[in-house]
Structure formats: structure tokens, C-alpha cells
Amino acid sequence: MFDQLFKDIALNATANDVAGNFPDKEFMCMAVAGLLKIVLPGEPLDFNKASTKGLLHLLKNVGGANLSVGRIYEGHINALQLVHAFGTEAQKREWYAAAANNKLFGVWNSENENGVTITLQPNGKYTVAGGKMFCSGAHWIQRPIVTGKLIAPGKIGWQMCILPVEKLKPFKEDNSFWKPMGMRASASFKIDFTGVEIGEECFLGAPDTYYAEPYFNGGATRFAAVQLGGALSIVEATHHFLRQQNRAGSEQQKARIAEMAMLAACGNNWLNSVAEKTEKWRNYPATNEKNMAYAGIVRTAIENICSRILYLSGVCIGPIGLMQPNTLERLHRDLTFYLRQPAPDAVISSVGAYLLKSEKIKDAWD
Ligand SMILES: Cc1cc2nc3c(=O)[nH]c(=O)nc-3n(C[C@H](O)[C@H](O)[C@H](O)COP(=O)(O)OP(=O)(O)OC[C@H]3O[C@@H](n4cnc5c(N)ncnc54)[C@H](O)[C@@H]3O)c2cc1C
């Protein structure tokens, strides 16, 4: 349905591969195509319907066109899913209208030193202090969900806030932090929110709702879908390179292309399988732990698939293929960087812990 749009986005990806750039033309076209509102009530991938499969494959296709666009788009979808799950009716009306009006959302949680605090003041307002890193989309995001430690009598925990950027004191953005090997156009800068004042109407959910399952760990399947899209583009570009360079003749090249095609099929099967289980387990809180563990398996399997594709492609094309102006140079850098998502060790160890509590592995995902 969006084939031409994704082709255009892919064509512009190399030109946009500059730290500090943001893919604004791409998001304008995606807005026109209805992609910023596609999960809202009544839209084709309405969260109230069994839309997981369509959504994961859409994220895969956006990532396949340009991983930086995929990263920012995944943040937009993540934020809307959190609004869907935890917003009050009034908040849903307001924030869905903003998305329908093509306001871009994001989720900014990662921090190191100087983390965010949200402190109640005597006037009933809250002041934000501290900052975040890896704020994908930076000032181009108009409705970021920013998390932080809530400090108010009787209300302690990790609070999500949706910030109506244009109504607030400007944030201090630090793009000097952003010198990545890949994903340059995701504009994942550092931002300091110190001095911003908000009202409680900006709070999304109660403190610690951000960690509620199956949303928190289950969400990993969305970034895995985007990653898979990047890997499938590498498979296609490698196949094209071998045919174009007349390097497809050896038995080893044939075997590597066959293995890459098999890995691509496995990746798609993982997306289909997790989508099917998500729909089956939806609305059954008792399945949350199983759901979380399965998402951990899918995320890890797709990371392994992508890593193996990167290796096979690199051996197939050699250093000439990994040099500019060949697009495989950027595709490899982007995927290598985007594969680094939080807590890979903790996730796989929690899957093992879940399975060791189960009687048998073969029944674990029923
Ligand atoms: C392109 C890109 C865009 C991003 N955009 C966003 C965004 O918009 N919003 C956002 O919130 N985040 C974003 N992130 C950040 C991302 O989600 C993670 O938060 C970030 O990767 C964490 O990096 P880290 O190096 O601190 O830790 P990790 O990646 O978690 O850890 C690195 C390694 O150290 C291990 N490790 C971690 N802790 C320990 C420990 N205590 N002891 C031993 N080993 C440990 C891990 O298992 C892993 O092997 C983005 C990341 C990328 C790459």
C-alpha cells in the first residue's frame, strides 16, 4: 500500500545520513499518507482491533526504507500505544487529536548522570529538572513522553509526562553528544529539561505505570521489527551487488545467499508468531509473564538473525561493497548501531528464569 513512499524514503536515506539532520521530508510524506494516525480509533491499525501483525510488518517496512525513520516512527507508535493503554478519556481525545493533526510523538526514557526529577511545588505545579540522552527526533518531536522520578507527598515512582513542547519553556538541546557510527538522521540528542513547569494534566498514568507489562518488555518486538526491516534491505542489496558485480558464481556465494534468504524468512515467521500470540494473550493479565518472556525470545532471535545477516553480507561483498558510494556501507553502519538496544543480557536471563520455572519447555508458549 505504501510501496512508493518507502521507495522514496529509501532513495533519500543516503543524502540524509548526517549527524544533526532529521528526516523532515520523509515525515511530511508519511503524515500525508496517514501513517502518523494509523493506530488511532477507526484507522486501519486501530489498537482496539487485532492489528499487531499489520503494525509489526509496517514497522519492518519503514525500517527497511530507512532505519533512522523507523526508529523515530517506532517512538511515535510506542507513545500512542501508551496513551491508548493509560490515558484518561480526556487525554485520549486531546492526544489523539494531536496525532491526527500530524504532531509527532516520542518516548524519551534513557538517562545517565543528572536524571529527570518532577517535583511538586507549593503552587500545585510540578518543576522538571535534569535531562535525557538518546532523545530520538529531538526538537522535531512535538509531544515527547518524558519519564522521571516523581517527588510529591504520597506519590513516588517513575512518572510519564507528555510535554506540549510549544507551550513550555524551551528545552536545552545538546547535539554535540550525537556522533554515532550509524542512525545519524535519528537525531538522538541529549536534552536538559531543567526549569520546565507542567501541570498534572501532563501526567500519563500513575507513577511506575511505564513499567507495566506486557507493554514495557513486550514493546521490544516493535524495535525488533524495525531492525529486521534493516536486515532485509541488506539481504536485497547484497543479492543485487553479487549479480551486478558478477560475483554470484561460486558455491560459497550461493550458499550464503540461500542462508540469508532463510534467515529473512525466519525473521518474518518470528513477527507473525509473536503477533499471533499477542492477540491470543491480549486481555489476559495472567499471561503477562509468558508474553514478556516470548517477546524476549523474539527480540533475541531477531538480533541474532540480523547479526548473522550482517556477517554473511560482509563476507559476500568484501571491502569494496562496504565502501561509499555503495549504500551497503550505510546500511551496515545503521543496523550495527541500531541492534544495540537496552539490557540484552538481563532480558535473555529473565527468559531462562521463566522457562526454568515451567514444567517443560515444549508447553511454555501455549
Ligand atoms: C539509534 C538509537 C536511538 C535511541 N533512541 C532512544 C529514544 O528515543 N528514547 C530512549 O529512551 N532511548 C533511546 N535509545 C537508547 C536505548 O534504548 C538504550 O537505552 C541504550 O542503548 C542504553 O545503552 P547503554 O549503553 O546504557 O546500556 P545497554 O545497552 O543496556 O548495555 C550495554 C551492555 O552492557 C550490559 N550491561 C548493562 N548494565 C550492566 C551491568 N550493570 N553490569 C554488567 N553488564 C551490564 C548490557 O547487557 C549490554 O551487554 C536509543 C538507542 C539507539 C541506538
> Counting atoms of ligand 1 from 1, which one is nearest the CA of 109?
11
Atom of ligand 1 nearest to the CA of 344: 47
Same domain, 100 and 123: no
Q: Which of 118, 26, 128, 122 is nearest to 72 (CA)?
A: 26
299 and 256, same structural domain?
yes
Residues 95 and 226 in one domain: no
Rounded to whole angstroms, the Cα distance separating 354 from 364 reads 9
Distance 295 CA to ligand 1 centre (A): 17
The reply to whether ligand 1 has any atom less than 6 angstroms from the CB of 345 is yes
Å from CA of 342 to ligand 1 middle: 4
Same domain, 89 and 145: no
pLDDT digit string, tens, across residues 113-142: 899 999 999 999 999 999 999 999 999 999
> Ligand 1 in contact with 108 (CB < 6 A)?
yes
CATH, residue 175: 2.40.110.10
Same domain, 90 and 121: no
Each residue's pLDDT tens digit, 158-201: 999 999 999 999 999 999 999 999 999 999 999 999 999 999 99
pTM of the model: 0.97
Let me know if residue 310 belongs to a domain: yes
Radius of gyration of the chain measured on its C-alpha atoms:
21
What proportion of the chain, given as a percentage, has pLDDT over 90? 95
Q: Are residues 247 and 342 in the same domain?
A: yes
In a domain, 365, yes or no: no
In the predicted structure, residue 227 carries a pLDDT above the cut 90: yes
Same domain, residue pair 84 and 169: no
pLDDT tens for 51-100 read: 999 999 999 999 999 999 999 999 999 999 999 999 999 999 999 999 99
Domain extent, residue 155, equals 109-207
Stretch (H or E) spanning 353: helix 344-357
Task: Kindly state if the Cβ of 186 falls inside 6 Å of ligand 1.
Answer: yes
pLDDT of residue 1: 77
Do 219 and 348 share a domain, yes or no? Answer: yes
Q: How many residues does the structure list for the chain?
A: 366
Q: For residues 184 and 237, state if they share a domain.
A: no
CB of 337 within 6 A of ligand 1: the answer is yes
Q: Which of 106, 133, 148 is the C-terminal boundary of a domain?
A: 106
Looking at the 3D structure of the chain, how many domains does it have? 3
Cell of 322: 562496504
| CATH classification of the domain holding 97 | 1.10.540.10
Residues 205-229 have a mean pLDDT of: 95
Domain membership of residue 87 (yes or no) is yes
